[in-house]
Amino acid sequence: MISKIMRATMAMMFGFSLFAFAQAADPAAGAAAATPNAASATPAAAKITGTRVGTLNVEQAIFASNEGRRDVDALIKKFEPKQNELKGLADEIDSLKKQLSAQQDKLNDESRDKLVKSIEGKQKSFDRASQDAQEDFRNQQQEIASRILGKMAPLIQKYVGDNGYGLLIDSSQPWPQGPVIVAGPSIDITQAIVEAFNVQSGVPAPAAGTAPAKPAPKPATKPATAAPPKQ
């Protein structure tokens, strides 16, 4: 599942998203762009004079890079205690629901109401904690993406200029959410950018067998729904 926050911050046209993230990564650069002088009056886009058309999956380039894989893997490990805590709470709720389902005919009204209130209270606590944890994860994941793209942007611009591209389109989102309906692999430069960025960053590849980082957290375990108590 692709992060909705990632999609919201990645603009449809690659040039805009690149500019926005570059500003976020370097506020001074953003201020300079807002008040250009004689030396910086010409935007970087004006230097792109090629005629080739290419696609770049910006999201994939970020999280498939060695740095992206390393940082998201560290983030996932950071959230493992919270994930385990949520799982423990979910298991507790499931146990109480099974108890209610199995014993509700034998419980008096007071005992049944007490058990129902206990389940409802724990369920609310679980829902709040799960939502907060996933929001926190996405925010920190977005910080990783913004930081890496801030470093990657100049490299992408240089690659585009050196290789004669006049138009580069972000293919992170599938059509119709994104602008690309169909694109063959011959015009996609994602892997080339990942490889070039790995060299530039100097971050070693993860250990063999390590899966590429995912741009979204695992959903927290949700307790199973039990049959409602008898009235």
Sign of CA dihedral 202, 23, 74, 216: negative
Q: Which amino acid is at 196?
A: A
Q: Which helix (H) or strand (E) holds 170?
A: strand 165-170
Q: Which amino acid is at 180?
A: V
133-164 pLDDT per residue, tens: 999 999 999 999 999 999 999 999 999 999 99
What mean pLDDT comes out for the span 100-114?
A: 89
Q: Which amino acid is at 8?
A: A
- Per-residue pLDDT for 212 more than 50? yes
What mean pLDDT comes out for the span 175-204?
A: 93
Contact 167, 53 (CB under 8 A): yes
Nearest to 136 by CA among 220, 223, 20, 222: 220
Of 130-139, 178-187, 205-214, which one has max mean pLDDT? 130-139
What mean pLDDT comes out for the span 47-66?
A: 91
In the chain, DSSP finds a helix count (H) and a strand count (E) of 8, 2
More confident site: 183 or 16: 183
Provide the pLDDT confidence category of residue 220 given band limits of 50, 70 and 90. very low
- Number of Cβ within 10 Å of residue 180's Cβ equals 17
- Using CA atoms, how far apart are residues 38 and 23, in angstroms rounded to an integer? 20
Of 11-15, 35-39, 72-76, which one has max mean pLDDT? 72-76
Of 67-81, 97-111, 205-219, which one has max mean pLDDT? 67-81
Residues with Cβ within 8 Å of 231's Cβ and at least 6 positions away in sequence, in order, are none
Percent of the chain with pLDDT over 90: 57
More confident site: 65 or 27: 65
Provide the pLDDT confidence category of residue 106 given band limits of 50, 70 and 90. confident
- Domain spans in the chain, listed from the N-terminal domain onward: 4-201
User: Which residues share a beta bridge with 54?
Assistant: 168
- Number of Cβ within 10 Å of residue 205's Cβ equals 11
Nearest to 54 by CA among 161, 173, 208: 161
- Output the six-digit token pair for 13: 């046209």
Query: What's the mean per-residue pLDDT of the chain?
Result: 77
* DSSP E strands, the chain: 52-56, 165-170
In terms of Cβ atoms closer than 10 Å to its own Cβ (0-12, 13-18, 19+), residue 160 is buried
More confident site: 132 or 16: 132
pLDDT of residue 211: 54
